[in-house]
């Protein structure tokens, strides 16, 4: 049958997930970093998710689609099945925010200062809410392990992304960083790297992304020695 139903422009979608809570029927989910219509039978075509997409990637079209099934959309078992049947979705991609614990006195290592999830640059959406107005810390993946004071000295009060310029493909990193700088009002940027030469690639990526975004701001570079000392 031909009826109105949601259509998502994957080229525009950045996987921010802001549309998901606005679909009461659970017809939308994030798969491989993109919003996806899980099944036509769960979409009523009324468009409650419209206007919630900062990328204007969602619209209502009229096309051949299965009839909307309210009973199926309402069934708890069906909802649970949709949650479990995400073959390409990763729980690590779900955005979460929380309040950081107060830093330990005297800069001693204490409670976690992480205020959001995810943190891996490949996984984090460019339009994640925790980037807006944030002091951004971009850390090489080894830094939190090498530097014991990472949380109180570097992370406290900042949004975090981690990346490895040595082992990962850097083209997607450049694209993602450029999008983060372009789409958000970032207040400051700190790049934390190890003293090894390959880590300097991360600093170059950040500088290039800032240039490509048209934003101008100073970059603070923190260097951690291989023995765990802050240079």
User: What is the distance between the alpha carbons of residues 7 and 36, in angstroms, rounded to a whole number?
Assistant: 9
Question: Which token pair is 86?
Answer: 């995400």
74 three-state secondary structure: helix
Beta bridge partners of 188: 135
**Main-chain phi, psi angles of 19, to 5 degrees:** -80, -25
What is the pLDDT at residue 111? 84
**Structure letter (DSSP) for residue 57:** -
Fold of 2-89: Alpha-Beta Plaits (3.30.70)
Q: For residues 125 and 106, what is the distance between their CA atoms, to the nearest angstrom?
A: 34
pLDDT of residue 37: 85
Q: Show me where the domains of the chain are located.
A: 2-89, 93-224
Q: Which of 149, 157, 175 is nearest to 116 (CA)?
A: 157
**CA 199 – CA 191 distance, rounded (Å):** 10
Per-residue pLDDT of the chain (231 residues; tens, 9 = 90+): 888 988 989 898 888 777 777 777 778 887 777 888 877 888 888 877 766 688 888 888 999 888 887 776 665 434 543 443 344 444 455 556 667 666 656 555 578 999 998 999 988 989 899 999 999 999 999 999 999 999 999 999 999 999 998 887 788 899 999 999 999 999 999 999 999 988 999 999 999 999 999 999 999 999 999 999 999
pLDDT of residue 42: 84
Q: Could you say which DSSP state residue 99 is in?
A: P
Is pTM beyond 0.75? Reply is no
Q: How far apart are CA 231 and CA 108, in angstroms?
A: 18
Please tell me the predicted confidence (pLDDT) of residue 138. Answer: 98
pLDDT at position 94, please?
59
Contact 160, 139 (CB under 8 A): yes
pLDDT at 143: 97
pLDDT of amino acid 101: 63
Q: Which of 130, 118, 136 has the alpha carbon at shortest distance from 30?
A: 118
């Amino acid at each position: 049958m031909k009826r109105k139903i949601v259509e998502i422009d994957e080229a525009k979608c950045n996987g921010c997930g802001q549309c998901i809570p606005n679909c009461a029927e659970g017809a939308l989910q994030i798969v491989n970093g993109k919003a996806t219509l899980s099944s036509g039978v769960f979409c009523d075509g009324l468009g409650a998710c419209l206007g919630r997409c900062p990328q204007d990637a969602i619209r209502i079209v009229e096309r051949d689609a299965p009839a909307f099934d309210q009973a199926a959309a309402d069934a708890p078992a069906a909802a649970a099945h949709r949650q479990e049947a995400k073959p390409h979705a990763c729980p690590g991609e779900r955005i979460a925010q929380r309040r950081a614990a107060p830093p330990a006195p005297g800069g001693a290592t204490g409670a976690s200062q992480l205020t959001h999830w995810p943190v891996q640059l490949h996984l984090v959406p460019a339009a994640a809410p925790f980037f807006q107005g944030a002091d951004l810390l971009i850390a090489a993946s080894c830094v939190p392990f090498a530097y014991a004071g990472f949380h109180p000295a570097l992370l406290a009060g900042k949004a975090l992304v981690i990346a490895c310029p040595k082992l990962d493909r850097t083209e997607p990193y450049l694209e993602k960083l450029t999008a983060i700088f372009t789409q958000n009002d970032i207040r400051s940027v700190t790049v934390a790297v190890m003293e090894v030469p390959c880590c300097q690639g991360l600093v170059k990526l950040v500088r290039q992304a800032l240039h490509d975004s048209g934003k101008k701001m100073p970059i603070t570079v923190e260097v951690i020695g291989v023995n765990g000392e802050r240079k």
